[in-house]
Structure 1
Amino acid sequence: MSSLRRRAAAVAAAACAGVLALTGCTAFNNSDDGTADGNGTSATTQTFQPSGGKPTATLSIASGSENKEVAVAIQKAADQSNVAVTMHYMGSLEIMNALKAGGQDHDAVWPASSMWISMGDTKHIVKDAASTSTTPIVFGIAKSKAVKLGWADDTGAAKPVSTADILAAVSDGKLTFSMTSATVIDSALNVYQTALRKPSWTIWVVDYSGSMSGEGKNGVVKGLNAALDPDQAKKSYIEPASGDVNILIPFETEAHRPVKATGTSTSDLLHEADATDASGGTDIYEGLLSALDELPSESEASQYTTAIVLMTDGRSNSDHQDEFESAYKSRGRDLPIFSIMFGDADPSQLKSLATLSNAKVFDGRSGDLAAVFRQVKGFN
C-alpha cells in the first residue's frame, strides 16, 4: 500500500459513518481550497488541519452532510495521520454525479450508502473502498406469520432471529419479501420526476435591472437553462414533466409581460430569458405583484405544487414592499417565495421575503446551479 493509501486508510479507520472510497482522480496538494474561513469552515466546506503543524498532504472528500456529525473523529484522524481533510458536503445525487463526471476535483467520496458509488462509478475510478459503518435494518412481518415460522409466541413476544433464519425461510418458500435495488433507483428517480410527482406551477421572477447586467444576467440565464432545458435538467433529476407549468416574469423598474411554458416545451421561455436586455432600475415587488396575478385559480390550486422563485441581486427599491406584503397576505395561500442570489447580492430584503412566505434564500453564485435548483425542488 502506498503512503497515500495508508494516510487515507487512517482517516477511514478513525471515522465512524458511511463508506469512504478513494477515487484516485486527483493528486494530493498541501493547501486547502480557500473556500473556508477561520479553521476552514463554511456552509458546505469544512477543513480539518492536523494539530502537529503543516500537513504533509490534503485529502479532498465529497461527503454526505450527515458526516458533519463525526467531526471529532475526522479531526482525530487528521491529527494522527498529519493529513489535512477537506470535507465538501453535498447530497447523495451530487456525489453520484461527481463520480459519473470522473470524480471532478475530489480525492475520495464518502456517501451515506455504497449504492451511490455503485450507481455513479460508471467510469470505474474508485480504487479502494472501506466500510466505516453498517446501517441497521428493521425487518417487520405480520404477527401471524412470525408465530407460524416459530419466531414469536402467541402473545407476539419475539424470539431471537438470525439472518440465516430469514434466508432459510425464504429458501424454503415460507417467506417472501421485496426490497429496493441500487440498479433500478437511477431509473426510478427519473420516473418519479416525470410521471409520479405532483405537477409544479412555478413562477420565475427574474431581475433584469442594470445592476444585473453581465455576470448577473449570465448567471440567471444559465440557471434557468439548468432547471428548464429538458436535456440539461434530466442530468440533475429536476427535468420538467408534462403537467408542469413554468412562467417567466422579467422585471426591472416595471414587470414585463409574462411568458408561459407548459410541460417540456420551454424553448420559447428560455429564448426570451436570453434575449431580454438588463437595464433600468430595480423593483422586485413589482415583479412579485405581477407573479400573484399568474397563480393557478383556486379550483386548479390543489392540482399543483406552487411556488415563486425570485432570481435577483437583491438591490431593490422598497417603495412597494408594504403593498406587496399586504397583497400576499390577502391571498391566504401557503405560497413559498424562494430567492436565489446572483451578482453582488444583498440578502436583507430576500430574507424578509423568506420569513413572510416560510421559504428560504439560496446562493446562486456558487457555480453549481443544478444543485441550487435541486434544493429548491426539494423544499417545494
Structure 2
Amino acid sequence: MTPRILASLVVLLAIVAAALFGWGGVGGPHRGVELSIVSGSENRPLGALVQDWARQEGAEVSMTWLGSVDIAREIEKGTAGAHDAVWPAHSMWIEFGDAQRVVKHDRSILRSPVALGLRRSIAERLGWIGRDDVTVQDIAAAAESGAFRLAMTSASQSNSGASAYIGFLYAFAGDPDLLTLDHLADPQVRARATDLFASVDRSSGSSGWLGEAFVAHPDRFDAMINYESVLIDTNRALVTAGREPLHVIYPANGLAVADSPLGYVEKGDASREAAFLSLQAHLLSPPVQAELFASGRRAGLLGLSTTDAPPAVWNADWGLDPAREIAPVPTPARDVIREALRLYQTALRKPSFTVWVLDVSGSMEGVPLTALKQAMGLVLDPERAALLLLDPAPGDVTVVIPFSSAPGPARRIDGADGAALRSLLAEVEALKAGGATDLYAALGAALAVLEAAERDGSLDGRLPAIIALTDGASDETGRTALLDRLQASAVGRDTPIHAIAIGKADERQLSELNDRTVGRLFRADDDIAGALRGARGYN
C-alpha cells in the first residue's frame, strides 16, 4: 500500500468516525483547550498540519515563531514562560535553556541533516561526486583554498549554523564521544575553526532566506551549508529556473542533524497535556510522517520504504540519499553549548565591518527615535549584546552614520572595547530629529567608508554590511547615481544592504536596494529592537 493510499484511508476513517461520534470542530475531544506553542521558523511549513489537527479536535492552537536563542530564553523562564509547548529546530536549544527541567514528553518530529550544497560542476572538479568519505576537513581545506565561495548562517543566531558549528568542533577535536570544555580550549581546535569561518563569503541569520537568496542571485554563490530540506527546496527552484543545481555532500564526520523536538512545558494542566500528547501523536502518525517525507524531511517512516521517495524531491542526481544511515554528533552538555556559542561570537567567527545608517529626520521625532536609541543599545552595549549572543569581537569594525537631509559625520570604532562602544552609544543617544530624508546620500557615505577601508586594508578578512534604518520615503534625486555606483564598485557589489523599515518607509525603495545587493528587508512595525537584532544577525 502506497503512502498516498494509506493517507487517504486514514482521512476517510477519520471522517466516518466524526460522523458517527460527533468528533471534529467544536465538538472534538479536546474542544475548548488552548495550546500555545513557540516554534522555530523552520517549522512554518508544518503549521498547516497543526491547524488541521486543531480543527479536527476542536482545540485552539496559537503558534509563535522565534529564533533558536529566543526559544532557549523562553525555556529558561520555566513554568513562568508564556507557552505550553516548545518546538525548536534542535534538541540542543532545550538542553541550552531547560535548567529547571520543565520540558517533558519531547520527541523528534522530523530530522534534517545539515549538509554542504555545492554547485555540481565544482563538486565534479573536486572529485566529490559519488563519494561518501568527504570529511569536514576536506570541505574546510577546499573552502580555504578558494575552490568555492561558501555561505552559511550565523552559529549564534540560526540553528543550521549552530548545528554545523558543533559538528565542525567534533571533527576538529578528533571525533570524541562527547564534546567537552577541554576540547573548546584546545588551541588547534580553535585555529581550525577560525580558518574555516574565515573562508565564509556570506553570512545570514536565516536558513530559509539563504536558500531563497541563492535562487534569486545564483551568480553570487557557489556553496552553502544548510538543512537538507532547504537544499532540496533550493534545487527544485534552481532547476525550474533552468539553473545548475547543487550537489549535496554529507560530511563523513561531524554530521549534525536538526531533530525538531516537540516538548511540553509542565504547568499542572492535565487537559492541556492530553491535548499536547494528541497533537504530538498526530504529527508522528504514519500519514503525516509520509507527508513530511514527501516534502523533503526525514521522518519515522513507520511502514514506509525509501523506494516510495518521490524522485522529484529525493533526486539521486543531486547526491540525495534518503536511505543513508544518519549518525549525528551527540548534543553536548549545557555548559559546553554556552561556551561554544560564546567562543564563536567573540573569537572564532569571521569579523564584521558593519555600517549603521540611522534616519534622524523630522518624522523620527518622539517614539521612533527613542526606540531606535534603545535598540542600538542592544548592539553597542557589550553587556546587553552578550545576553543575545551578539557580542562584538576584537576584529569587528562598527561605523554609525546618522542622516536626514544629508548624511552626518561617520563615527568608527575598531574592536570590542566596551568603553569605546559605550561612548559611541552615548553619541547615538544624543541624536536629535529634524530635516528631510535622503537615504541615497547616506548610503553613498556608507559606501565611501567601505571603499576607504578597502584601500587602507582594514576591510580585508571582514564581512561587510550596511544596515539602514528609515521611517520615510527618501528623496530620489541621488537614486540613479547610487545604483550605478553600487554596480561599478567592487565593494558595492559585495556588500549587502539590509534595511529596517518603520512607519511610512517606502518598501519599494528599500526592496530595490536589497535586491541589488542581496540584502534583506526587515519590517519593524512596533518592534524596532527585534528588527535591528535580526539584521545584526546577518553579519
The equivalent residue for 1:16 is none
92-101 or 194-203: bigger deviation: 92-101
Equivalent residue number for residue 120 of structure 2? none
Q: 2:364 aligns with which of 212, 217, 227?
A: 212
Amino acid at match of 2:535: V
Amino acid corresponding to residue 358 of structure 1 in structure 2: V
Change in CA separation of 1:176 and 1:354 when aligned onto 2, cut-off 3 Å: closer
Cα displacement string for residues 143-189 of structure 1 (whole angstroms, at most 9, x for unaligned residues): xxxxxxxxxxxxxxxxxxxxxxxxxxxxxxxx965545142112111
SS in 2 for 1:52: helix
Specify whether residues 374 and 210 from structure 1 end up closer, same or farther in structure 2 by C-alpha distance, changes over 3 A only. closer
SS at match of 1:279: coil
Distance 1:271 1:209 in 2: 19
The alpha carbon displacement at 1:88 in A equals: 1.0
Shift of 1:260: 1.2
1:75 Cα deviation from its structure 2 partner: 2.4
Number of the residue aligned with 1:185? 337
Map 1:240-279; keep pairs closer than 5 Å: 240-264=392-416, 265-279=420-434
Note if contact 1:203-1:307 (Cα within 8 Å) is conserved in structure 2. Answer: yes
SS at match of 1:327: helix
The equivalent of 1:113 in structure 2 is: 90
Distance between the aligned counterparts of 1:124 and 1:286, measured in 2? 53
Q: Does the C-alpha gap of structure 1 residues 84 and 290 become closer, same or farther in structure 2, counting only changes over 3 Å?
A: same
Aligned to 2:466: 308
The corresponding residue for 2:72 is: 96
Assess, with a 3 A threshold, how the Cα gap between structure 1 residues 281 and 120 changes in structure 2: closer, same or farther. Answer: same
Farther off after superposition, 292-301 or 275-284? 292-301
Structure 1 position 141, deviation (Å): 9.9
CA 176–187 in structure 1, closer or farther in 2 if over 3 Å, else same: closer
1:269 maps to a residue whose letter is L
Deviation at 1:289, TM superposition (A): 1.1
Shift in alpha-carbon separation, 1:329–1:176, aligned structure 2, 3 A: closer
Q: 1:317 to 1:53 in 2, by over 3 A?
A: farther
RMSD, aligned CA: 2.9
CA distance in 2 between counterparts of 1:306 and 1:136 reads 30
- CA deviation digits over 1:330-367, x for unaligned, max 9? 21221111101223333121111101211111122352
Tell me which of 109, 112, 128 is aligned to 1:133: 109
Aligned length: 298
Aligned to 1:297: 454
Q: Percent identity?
A: 35
Tell me which residue corresponds to 2:322.
none
Matched, 1:288 2:446: no
Q: Deviations over 1:203-251 (max 9, x none)?
A: 1010000011112212221221112211111111111111111111000
Are the aligned partners of 2:474 and 2:506 in contact in 1 as well (CA < 8 Å)?
A: no
Task: Report the Cα distance in structure 2 between the residues aligned to 1:137 and 1:353, rounded to whole angstroms.
Answer: 33
The structural deviation recorded for 1:124 is 4.2
Match for 1:338: what amino acid?
Answer: H
How many angstroms apart in 1 are the aligned matches of 2:439 and 2:77? Answer: 37
Deviation at 1:191, TM superposition (A): 0.3
In the TM superposition, what are the counterparts of 1:359-374 in structure 2 within 5 Å? 359-367=519-527, 369-370=529-530, 372-374=531-533
| Contact 1:238 1:373 (8 Å CA) reproduced | no
Query: What's the counterpart of residue 538 of structure 2?
Result: 379
Aligned equivalents of 2:434 and 2:513: distance in 1?
A: 24
Paired with 2:350 and 2:112, the residues of 1 have a C-alpha distance of 32
Q: Offset of 1:193 from its aligned partner?
A: 0.3
Match of 1:234 in 2: 386
Per-residue CA deviation, residues 286-345 of structure 1 (Å, 9 max, x unaligned), is: 211111121122433332111111011132111111121122222122111110122333
CA distance in 1 between counterparts of 2:527 and 2:101 reads: 26
> Offset of 1:73 from its aligned partner?
3.0
User: What is the rounded CA distance, in whole Å, between the counterparts of 1:323 and 1:214 in structure 2?
Assistant: 32
Q: 1:38 maps to which residue?
A: none
Contact 2:402/2:408 (8 A) holds in 1: yes
Give ranges in structure 2 of 5+ residues lacking alignment. 1-23, 115-130, 134-174, 179-328
Residues 363 and 472, structure 2, Cα contact 8 Å, conserved in 1? no
Q: Which residue of 1 aligns with 2:33?
A: 57
Cα deviation for residue 198 of structure 1 reads 1.2
Alignment partners' CA distance in 1, 2:352 and 2:113: 34
RCO comparison, higher one (Cα < 8 Å, 6+): 2
Structure 2 counterparts to residues 314-353 of structure 1, below 5 A: 314-333=472-491, 334-353=494-513
Structure 1 unaligned spans of 5+ = 1-49, 143-174
Please tell me the residue identity of whatever aligns with 1:206: L
Asked if structure 2 preserves the Cα contact closer than 8 Å seen for 1:220 and 1:342, the reply is no
Shift of 1:373: 4.1
* Distance in structure 2 (CA, Å) of the matches to 1:277 and 1:104: 38
Quick check: 1:314–1:349 contact (8 Å CA) kept in 2?
A: no
Q: Show the counterpart of 2:377.
A: 225
Alpha-carbon distance in structure 2 between the residues aligned to 1:137 and 1:260: 40
Q: 1:132 to 1:189 in 2, by over 3 A?
A: closer
Q: Give how far 1:112 is off.
A: 2.3
Instruction: Answer yes or no: is 1:198 the counterpart of 2:350.
Output: yes
- 1:78 is paired with a residue whose SS is helix
User: Is the contact made by 1:215 and 1:343 (CA closer than 8 Å) also made in structure 2?
Assistant: no
Deviates further, 114-123 or 278-287? 114-123
8 Å Cα contact 2:390-2:537 kept in structure 1? no
Q: Structure 1 residues 359, 141: CA separation in 2 closer, same or farther (over 3 Å shift)? A: closer
Cα gap change, 1:53 to 1:317, in 2 (>3 Å): farther
